[in-house]
């Protein structure tokens, strides 16, 4: 199963809105006969790729896959039909497919064909691998992660605004990996104005995420780097009070979405739903304390990825990665669950999930 998960990750950035899936075919002595993964949206599923690559008869062999084999006709025919046709004796699945078109039907069909089926191996890891797909299928909402790069005392910039370079180059290359995973990166107009980021993915085999800018009053300059015409989709979410004329005069290659306001700012709950309907299944927020706070306060963020540098800024006027809750008691805190940590060269990454998510 660990091998399946590893193979599945080769699909990062290429399979959305479909799940990440890897499959391994093996014999009774646990020799690997073939492996495959879901490589690209709309193309063969992992199981079919592993089967097509295998040489020789597959009768009596076993196949292990991190997601239940499908039973429906989508862009491709049902994988469980192919597994039955090839005469496999055993199927091991990491988890049930949450897609209502499958949801246990694949397992049932395999069992009815006399195949031994084992479900739930490394299930937590399998669920975490497909956390985006799971949330999309169950809630019809995008998966939202807040990413921050801060000092030990939680500062993302000094009071002068200087924020380069809190974390080191190893951390920054990890951020590139994240940008390759999410459908879109979301930031605020103030971050665009202050930092002029490009928000691209500079990995060799990576692809650029869609760029989303929340710009209530259309304050960003149209020659900001985020509007570079590099073939990447750019979406600007503006107030529904912004006129078509203002939009026409702004960046030519961007799409504009008008959104109602809440307390003078974009209603992010509405914005997120509009974006989901536009095909954005996962969002990485790379912004400042205000926007981070809004996503946390509206209970929209699923998890938090914190890059922490071993530095202390210590100025109470410096910018915090979350700003403006004004809470007086510890009992009013937002609680998270720490899932894992990764020690890099100088910095660490802390992964936590918001309580109730």
Q: Which stretch binds ligand AOF (CB under 6 A): 95-103, 209-217, 295-303, 347-355?
A: 95-103
332 in active site: no
Residues that bind Zn ion (CB under 5 A): 45, 70, 79
Q: Which does 117 bind (CB under 5 to 8 A by kind): Zn ion, ligand AOF, none?
A: none
- As given in the structure block, the two tokens for residue 212 are 């989303």
Among 88, 94, 97, 195, binds ligand AOF (CB under 6 A): 97
Q: Which residue is nearest to ligand AOF (CB)?
A: 74
- As given in the structure block, the two tokens for residue 315 are 């100025």
Among residues 47, 68, 105, 286, which one is catalytic? Answer: 47
- As given in the structure block, the two tokens for residue 324 are 């403006």
* In the complex, minimum distance from the CB of residue 45 to ligand AOF, in angstroms, rounded to a whole number: 3
Q: How far apart are the first and last CA of the chain?
A: 25
Report the SS3 class of residue 304.
Answer: strand
Q: Which stretch binds ligand AOF (CB under 6 A): 75-83, 292-300, 320-328, 333-341?
A: 75-83
Among 53, 75, 139, 327, binds ligand AOF (CB under 6 A): 75
Among 76, 176, 228, 239, binds ligand AOF (CB under 6 A): 76
DSSP E strands: which ranges in the chain?
A: 22-26, 32-37, 62-65, 90-93, 116-119, 143-151, 155-157, 184-188, 210-214, 234-239, 254-259, 261-262, 265-266, 282-285, 303-309, 319-320, 336-343, 348-354
Among 1, 5, 7, 21, binds ligand AOF (CB under 6 A): 21
Phi, psi of 62, deg, nearest 5: -115, 150
Q: How far is CA 129 from the centre of its chain?
A: 10
* In the complex, minimum distance from the CB of residue 51 to ligand AOF, in angstroms, rounded to a whole number: 12
Touching ligand AOF, residues 51-70 (CB under 6 A):
67, 70
Closest by CA to 15, choosing from 82, 61, 86, 76, is 76
Q: Which does 272 bind (CB under 5 to 8 A by kind): Zn ion, ligand AOF, none?
A: none
* In the complex, minimum distance from the CB of residue 97 to ligand AOF, in angstroms, rounded to a whole number: 5
Q: What is the dihedral of CA 214, 246, 240, 216, to 10 degrees?
A: 30
Q: Which does 303 bind (CB under 5 to 8 A by kind): ligand AOF, Zn ion, none?
A: none
Which residue reads 């399979």 in tokens?
A: 15
Is 34 a binder of ligand AOF (CB under 6 A)?
no
Helix residue ranges per DSSP H, the chain: 2-8, 46-53, 79-85, 105-112, 123-129, 131-139, 169-181, 189-195, 244-248, 268-277, 289-297
Is 46 a binder of ligand AOF (CB under 6 A)?
yes
Q: In sequence order, what are the residues at sequence separation of 6 or more whose Cβ sits closer than 8 angstroms to the Cβ of residue 7?
A: 22, 23, 24, 35, 36, 37, 46
CB closer to ligand AOF, 33 vs 353: 33
CB closer to ligand AOF, 77 vs 206: 77
Looking at the DSSP bridge assignments, the partners of residue 266 are 261
Q: Which does 18 bind (CB under 5 to 8 A by kind): Zn ion, ligand AOF, none?
A: ligand AOF
CB closer to ligand AOF, 18 vs 145: 18
Distances in Å between the alpha carbon of 63 and those of 10, 39, 97, 128? 19, 18, 16, 21
* In the complex, minimum distance from the CB of residue 257 to ligand AOF, in angstroms, rounded to a whole number: 26
Among 16, 34, 62, 99, binds ligand AOF (CB under 6 A): 99
Is 92 a binder of ligand AOF (CB under 6 A)?
no
Catalytic residues: 47
Binding site for ligand AOF (CB under 6 A): 15, 18-19, 21, 38, 45-46, 67, 70, 74-76, 79, 97, 99, 102
């Amino acid at each position: 199963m660990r091998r399946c998960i590893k193979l599945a990750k080769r699909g990062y950035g290429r399979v959305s809105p479909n799940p990440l899936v890897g499959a391994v075919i093996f014999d009774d002595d646990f020799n690997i006969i073939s492996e495959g993964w879901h490589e690209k949206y709309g193309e063969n599923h992992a199981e079919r790729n592993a089967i097509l690559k295998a040489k020789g008869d597959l009768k009596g062999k076993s196949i292990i896959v991190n997601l239940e084999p499908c039973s429906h006709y989508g862009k491709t025919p049902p994988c469980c039909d192919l597994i039955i046709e090839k005469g496999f004796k055993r199927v091991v699945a990491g988890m049930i497919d949450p897609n209502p078109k499958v949801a246990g039907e694949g397992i049932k069909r395999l069992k009815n064909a006399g195949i031994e089926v084992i479900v739930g191996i490394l299930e937590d890891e399998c669920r975490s691998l497909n956390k985006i797909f799971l949330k999309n299928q169950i809630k019809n909402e995008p998966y939202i992660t807040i990413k921050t790069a801060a000092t030990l005392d939680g500062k993302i910039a000094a009071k002068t605004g200087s924020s380069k370079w809190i974390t080191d180059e190893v951390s920054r290359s990890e951020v590139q990996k994240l940008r390759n995973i999410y459908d879109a990166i979301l930031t605020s107009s103030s971050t665009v104005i202050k930092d002029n980021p490009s928000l691209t993915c500079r990995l060799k085999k990576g692809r650029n995420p869609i760029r989303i800018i929340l710009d209530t009053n259309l304050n960003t300059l149209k020659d900001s780097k985020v509007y570079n015409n590099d073939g990447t989709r750019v979406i600007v979410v503006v107030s529904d009070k912004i006129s078509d004329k203002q939009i026409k005069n702004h960046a030519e290659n961007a799409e504009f979405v008008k959104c109602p306001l809440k307390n003078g700012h974009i209603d992010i709950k509405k914005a997120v739903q509009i974006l989901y309907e536009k095909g954005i299944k996962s969002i990485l927020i790379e912004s400042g304390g205000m926007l981070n706070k809004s996503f946390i306060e509206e209970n929209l963020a699923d998890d938090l990825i914190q890059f922490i540098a071993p530095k202390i800024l210590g100025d109470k006027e410096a910018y915090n990665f979350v700003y403006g809750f004004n809470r007086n008691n510890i009992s009013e805190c937002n609680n998270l669950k720490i899932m894992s940590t990764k020690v890099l060269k100088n910095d660490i990454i802390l992964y936590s999930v918001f309580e109730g998510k």
